[in-house]
């Protein structure tokens, strides 16, 4: 299988890229800069590296022409988060989260649709529990993820006639560097053992990707098992 993956440099994306590489699949990885591409190339020497900055979605225009042949899956894993009350959020923080979390996946999906249609492939959006329920100080991030959910729903309805499956995975808090940053912004101590392992989210993504062609999983939520007091 051949997979295009965003966010392969850290967290869930990194764990996913390693799992796909270990099973012998072909990877096409997006990197935000030449320096980042070199780092990913050292980790995944067999992968094709494409340079585009998701924070500047215009850099994705024409990217489809750099990919030859069919693509089996497009895996949108990259994301950014900056917490803050609406009264204090800067415009740049709003724009970056909307660009990386919503606009860039939309543009990249458009660019790769011909390749996915050729293989009757699958698009997976790694969303967030914040795409289902918004909390205080999560306004910009949640808005971007609610928008991503809507985009995925519309794309699914459009592409069914082409045989392209579209799935959204909603992980709750997962033990990643992003989650550590969130805890820092919240002023809370970070304990990775309380949260979902990236490998568990990868298991879910691969279940969606490897599903036989006669079925699809439009949406799946992954939540941590929170220990009860005293256990």
Question: Catalytic residue positions?
Answer: 141
The answer to whether 124 and 78 have CB atoms below 8 angstroms apart is no
Question: Measured at the alpha carbon of residue 134, what is the angle toward residues 129 and 137, in degrees to the nearest 5?
Answer: 115
In 104-164, at which residue ranges do the beta strands (DSSP E only) sit? 122-126
- Are 218 and 211 contacting, i.e. CB atoms less than 8 angstroms apart? no
Strand 165-171 and strand 73-76: the pairing is unpaired
Phi, psi of 221 (to 5 degrees): -110, 135
Q: Which residues have a Cβ under 8 Å from the Cβ of 41 and sit 6 or more positions away?
A: 47, 49
């Amino acid at each position: 299988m051949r997979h295009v993956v965003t966010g392969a440099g850290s967290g869930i994306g990194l764990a996913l890229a390693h799992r796909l590489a270990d099973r012998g699949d072909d990877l096409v990885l997006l990197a935000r800069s030449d320096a980042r591409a070199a780092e990913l190339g050292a980790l995944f020497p067999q992968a094709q590296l494409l340079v585009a900055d998701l924070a500047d979605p215009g850099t994705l225009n024409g990217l489809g022409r750099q990919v030859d042949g069919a693509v089996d899956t497009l895996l949108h894993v990259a994301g950014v988060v900056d917490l803050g009350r609406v009264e204090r959020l800067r415009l740049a923080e709003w724009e970056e989260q909307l660009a990386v979390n919503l606009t860039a996946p939309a543009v990249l999906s458009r660019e790769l649709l011909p390749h996915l249609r050729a293989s009757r492939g699958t698009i997976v959006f790694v969303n967030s529990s914040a795409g289902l329920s918004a909390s205080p100080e999560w306004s910009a991030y949640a808005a971007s993820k609610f928008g991503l959910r809507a985009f995925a729903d519309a794309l699914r309805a459009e592409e069914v006639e082409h045989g392209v499956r579209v799935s959204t995975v909603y992980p709750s808090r997962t033990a990643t560097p992003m989650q550590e940053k969130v805890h820092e912004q919240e002023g809370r101590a970070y304990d990775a053992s309380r949260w979902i392992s990236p490998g568990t989210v990868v298991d879910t993504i691969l279940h969606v990707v490897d599903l036989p062609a006669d079925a699809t999983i439009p949406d799946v939520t992954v939540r941590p098992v929170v220990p009860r007091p005293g256990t």
